Amino acid sequence: MDNQNVRKRGRGHFYFNSEKNDSTTTNKAGLMTMESTDSRSLNKNVGLLTMGSTDPKNLKNAGLLTMEPTGSQKTKSTTHTSVEEEEAFQKLMEEAEQEEKQEISESMEKLILEEDMEINEEGEEEQMEEGEINESEWAQSSSNWENPNKEESFANKAFENQEWQEVKSKSEKKKEKIEEEAITASRKKRYVVSQVQEKRAIAVIPNPEKLSMWPFAIEIPDELTTDLERPLFPGDSIFVNKFAWIEGRRQVTIDNWYRKDTGILSYQATALMIDVTHFPYWTTKTGIITYLKKKEGKAPLARVTAYGMERSGMLYAKQCRHGLDLSKTRLSEFVNLKLAPIPAGWMIGSNYIVPPGGSYRLGTEIMAKEGSQILACAEPFTERWRWLTKTGLPKVFPIDKDYTLKEMKLAEDIIAAALITAAENEEVGRMETSYFGVVKPLEDEKKRTFTISHIHEQKAHIAKVLNIWTKDTPVTAKTGFERKAFANGYIKEVVKCDRDDGLLQIEVNIILVPNEGLYEHDEDFEAMTHGMLSIIQVAETPGGYRDQADTFGLHAPTQLIKEEKSPRTEILKALFGRPGTDDSVVGGDIPKDLECVKSLNEEQQNTLSNWLHEGRGRLHYQQAPPGTGKTRLAAACIAAALKKDPKIAVLATANSNLPVSKLIDESAQINLGSEMLAFFASTARIRYGDQILLLNEHQLENKIKGKFVEKLEGSEKRDVTDYLAHIKDKPRHTKERKVGEIYLAREFKNAIFGTIYMCLGIPRAHVSTTHLIIDEVTQTSFSMMVHLLCKLPLVRSVLLTGDVRQLGTHLKELPEVIQSGYGLESVTDQMENCERVSVTILERCYRSHPIITECFDYSSYEKHGERVIAAVPAEKRTGLTKLGINLPVNDVPLILLNIRGRIEQDSASYSLSSPEQTEAAITIAKALEHRDPQGVAIICLYTFQCEKIRERLQQENIQVSVNSVDAFQSREHRLIILVTTSTKAPGSAARADASDFLKDSRRATVALSRAQSGLIIIADFEAIREGETWRRFITAAKQHTPFVDERYLEVMEHEEPTRDSNGVLNDLKGRSIEVKVEEVKLIRGGELRTGRGKMICNRCGNPGHLARDCRRR
């Protein structure tokens, strides 16, 4: 029966990879005679068989000792009707397992004799031998799942008084001539269904380390199960007492137990007789179809996910019940899944399960935890869902204000399923890119630096390696996939290597040190340095998708909304667009005597007012375009709130470390002082060391020195002492979260700073929070926002600040099916449906030169009915105009350098670069850097372009930082060189999706708004015009400065420049360097578009003049 109760899953999962081989075709194989084999030799071989399967109908042709049991042996069973009965069955199995295991050591002749004696010569119906088990024995037995390594022996009387039934085989054994004999064991053996195929189920033995004379994987032909009330599904238990080996497959190894080409478990034998079938207790959860494969002539298959599963499950047509037809389903449709329990410790593969204790692994399985479940079968989702996409598919996000409570719960289930899919994708990628082999030590007196090489023929795999194995990323070293790590470290450098054999190679330099603690790891570490095969993996990320899935899957939001009356509930209601008790709450007075408040403009004061006057629970959003002072305002909000109520607890956070460090810096400048406490992960300390070092006064290290340590005892004192000893030279070995919890258990701080992930890992950093600030909130997902709120029982005021016109959450690496409509998008996408969220919009830009501000205002904000107004005069942004280089137009801090050139594509990552644009960037960087050594930064749209420019900067010994646009959000610089790479030059090897990349308006907005005093854009301007934001920026910029070509690089530093009559710089021959519009345009549709066209002022909209000459300044 179905169980609607949700079993809470365990935390701390181990995640591995999945195979994507979905074909269910099998290879024909014969069956061989049973030979007497020493079980020890089988154990030594620790492995499984190559993929292949045998159709039972063809067994006679394959050479089976006894081709088929005389009359197929079949069993019947019913599912259990209660959890108590389930437990009773498990206890009975445990008692049966307590009997001492009998070693099968008889000769082949004796086994065949026993087989002969079992066959009824008269063809009469044969019954199992009956036995008795009394009630006390029943009560004392335990779950067989917990101890699956015994052989089974059951008797019917054990089940007579139960409401459910275990039905043995009752098919008649017909007399037939036996050409060859099959194997009948003296005791039956329990197997668990691991995988279903078109004509069979494949079951595995629960204790592969004690195979003895039994096969690891066995085929259960459908002919043996026709009398059952339903087919066999994964998780079912069956008891086999007669089987036949398959010729050529008896020796199972770690290389042949699974066929990667077909995704099928390879079985060694075929069952000829089964006695008892146990159907486990199912739960029903609504999930989604995340993968669908339909191919003419083949049965369709799908991959489905629901909350409660550790990973998605492969759904074959055979597992579809009650009218579910995969040929008529669509990707992302809802489906009701029947989930079966799986014991903790079992390994869940992409379409199979295997027991613990064996060596049969791909290294990509996920370990089942307490309460884990797997897909058994699926049924149609028959309820009506009112919210659909334009294509008729269901969607759950943004959350609609008209959702009923029941619909909200279903939406939570679906969001949880999407989060499980996201977690699996992340974990599988991490495991797929694991390195297994010899680790080569490099010259290092501490013997801590090593190198490994990823070599592969597929670009897609190497691209995944490059995406996951990035600089400063934590790594671990193990001797086995299920072993504890004996060493930890981080990636020092990643280098792509050229090869002559066509293979792709990535060389990774890593730092590793042996772990300390309860386990002795020095010996493993020493063995690794001398050539021991080791597994190097990118370390798991704490928290994240699975924790969020628990929040939604256990219906925490709806439960709080329904049952709790608190400010937090009102905030959740506001976020979900639901009515509350204080819909009309407005802001109030602010403490204008504070210096940090006096400098706020009107819009900023409105934000502060809403923050301070929370009513019965306040959720406030501040739309803050680039440079509008949102971070300084956040610091002022903290100061004002503390002045109003010194007992509050503020958590100031963001999704990444850079905005957090800016929050700390701004807060320190307004003298919050000793009330501040900042947490940084070891990765952040390595990556942003110089910036974080400036904030040392407010970090945990500075708070726990001296007298605090003296108060501690035992393990706490050791942890804090070790932290202080290693924080400077070995930050990887410090325990920021653990020591932070120790400190906060004794000391209270009003203002705590850290990333969301960091603070969620320190309970005392968030459980007392009354006021929450999230900066760069567009990069915080809706699911994370809800998860965080459910962890803050005392929160009563929330300020979200960010810019919806800039980059949101990073979804590119997730499966496309869950990138939209499942709550993984930015929380700001939900705001349009939230009438109770108070909003302020900032307009005054304190960052950029007025001309730059004008251009990105027109490109990104004006079209949305918003505006960005320059708040600083040009005289205070002279970083480029007074630098001493020749600009195309005097006093205009914009350079539009048109470089077409070629396009090169990275063979590993598919990213792009332009050699000509690289050289142009180097020339400009060299000219600017020696005039303003700390004021120049280069940002690129493509990572390969970043790599090429870094290489050239290093060759020229130019100290200029290079970053991708995505990595530069929340940052700014005095002078920006922006390299766009894309081109329409004939013969360029541009990637097909380059145009879509340019059309991303949010990425373009970030790229064009980072500069304070000067912006140099290196581009093929015809190519980037395809993006609307780029096109509008160019339109505005062209009113101030013309396009110029590579001749500008020759006269940029010329000591005696000349200019034409329009004030445009001339080249060395005295000709204007301006590139006329017709020289940049391309022929489209047989027509050549020429001329500059009518002059239109971007400021006032009137013709006849440009914005720089407008009187409405």
d(CA 111, CA 187): 12
Residue 790 DSSP code: T
Place of tokens 């004061």: 605
- In this structure, is residue 724 part of a structural domain? no
Residue 280 DSSP code: P
Tokens of 156: 């019917």
Cα end-to-end span (Å), the chain: 75
- In this structure, is residue 11 part of a structural domain? no
Do 310 and 414 have their domain in common? yes
Among the listed residues 741, 568, 759, 742, the one whose alpha carbon sits nearest the alpha carbon of residue 663: 759
Element holding 166 (H helix, E strand) = strand 166-167
> Taking CA 395 as the corner, what is the angle to CA 390 and CA 396, rounded to the nearest 5 degrees?
145
d(CA 19, CA 760): 32
704-710 contact pairs (CB < 8 A, 24+): 704/739, 704/743, 708/743, 708/746, 708/747
Rg (the chain; Cα; Å): 34
d(CA 590, CA 594): 9
Residue 817 dihedral angles phi and psi, to the nearest 5°: -60, -25
Do 916 and 935 have their domain in common? yes
Do 525 and 557 have their domain in common? no
Q: Which residues touch 923 (CB under 8 Å, ≥6 apart)?
A: 1049, 1052
Do 325 and 415 have their domain in common? yes
**pTM as predicted:** 0.80
Q: Are 393 and 330 in contact (CB under 8 A)?
A: yes
d(CA 870, CA 846): 7
d(CA 738, CA 733): 12
Half-sphere exposure of 266 (CA within 13 A, CB side): 28
Place of tokens 């989702």: 381
Sign of CA dihedral 831, 836, 838, 839: positive
d(CA 603, CA 891): 31
Q: The domain that contains 886 carries what CATH number?
A: 3.40.50.300
Element holding 1016 (H helix, E strand) = strand 1011-1019
d(CA 170, CA 166): 12
DSSP H helical segments within 545-612, as ranges?
545-553, 556-563, 567-575, 595-598, 602-612
Q: Which pairing describes strands 1043-1044 and 894-898: parallel, antiparallel, or unpaired?
A: parallel
Do 426 and 452 have their domain in common? no
Which residues of 688-825 form beta strands (DSSP E)? 751-755, 771-774, 797-802
Q: Is the peptide bond before 763 cis (omega within 30 degrees of 0)?
A: no
Tokens of 618: 């306040």
Range of the domain at 916: 850-1109
Place of tokens 């030169």: 849
Q: Around Cβ 486, how many Cβ atoms within 10 Å?
A: 22
| CA 569, chain centre distance (Å) | 29
- In this structure, is residue 10 part of a structural domain? no
Do 655 and 752 have their domain in common? yes
Residue 198 DSSP code: T
d(CA 690, CA 61): 74
User: What b-and-e string marks burial along 66-99, b requiring 16 or more CB atoms within 10 Å of the CB?
Assistant: bbbbbbbbbbbbbbbeeeeebebbbbbbbbbbee
Do 526 and 630 have their domain in common? no
Q: Are 774 and 637 in contact (CB under 8 A)?
A: no
- In this structure, is residue 972 part of a structural domain? yes
Do 951 and 1036 have their domain in common? yes
Residue 328 DSSP code: G
- In this structure, is residue 252 part of a structural domain? yes
- In this structure, is residue 379 part of a structural domain? yes
Q: Around Cβ 589, how many Cβ atoms within 10 Å?
A: 9
User: Mean pLDDT of successive 10-residue segments in the chain (1113 residues)?
Assistant: 37 31 35 32 29 34 32 39 46 43 34 33 33 31 34 31 34 35 66 94 88 87 91 95 91 87 91 89 96 87 96 95 94 97 94 88 90 96 92 92 94 98 92 91 78 88 88 88 84 85 89 74 88 90 84 97 94 92 68 90 93 86 96 94 92 93 91 83 73 80 87 90 83 83 93 93 92 96 97 96 93 89 95 88 96 97 95 96 96 96 84 94 96 95 94 95 92 96 69 68 96 97 91 96 96 94 94 72 32 44 51 42
- In this structure, is residue 7 part of a structural domain? no
User: What b-and-e string marks burial along 741-777, b requiring 16 or more CB atoms within 10 Å of the CB?
Assistant: bbbbeeeebbbbbbbbbbbbbbebbbebbbbbbbbbb
Do 304 and 396 have their domain in common? yes
d(CA 545, CA 810): 13
Among the listed residues 384, 268, 408, 283, the one whose alpha carbon sits nearest the alpha carbon of residue 337: 283
Which of 844, 876, 906 delimits the end of a domain? 844
- Cα–Cα distance list, 93 to 143, 153, 154, 373 (Å): 7, 8, 8, 20
Sign of CA dihedral 995, 997, 1000, 1001: negative
Q: Are 191 and 225 in contact (CB under 8 A)?
A: no
Q: The domain that contains 325 carries what CATH number?
A: 2.40.50.140
Which of 378, 407, 430 delimits the end of a domain? 430
Residue 300 DSSP code: -
Number of domains in the chain: 6
Do 880 and 987 have their domain in common? yes
Q: Around Cβ 1055, how many Cβ atoms within 10 Å?
A: 6
Which of 262, 280, 298 delimits the end of a domain? 280
3 state SS of 987: coil
226-266 pLDDT, tens per residue?
A: 988 899 999 999 999 999 999 988 888 888 899 888 889 99
Place of tokens 């590793």: 512
Q: Are 88 and 138 in contact (CB under 8 A)?
A: yes
Do 818 and 967 have their domain in common? no
- In this structure, is residue 322 part of a structural domain? yes
Half-sphere exposure of 807 (CA within 13 A, CB side): 21
d(CA 167, CA 923): 83
3 state SS of 850: helix
Q: Around Cβ 384, how many Cβ atoms within 10 Å?
A: 5
Do 380 and 239 have their domain in common? no
Q: Are 888 and 1065 in contact (CB under 8 A)?
A: yes
DSSP H helical segments within 863-993, as ranges?
915-929, 943-956, 965-968
What's the pLDDT at 309?
96
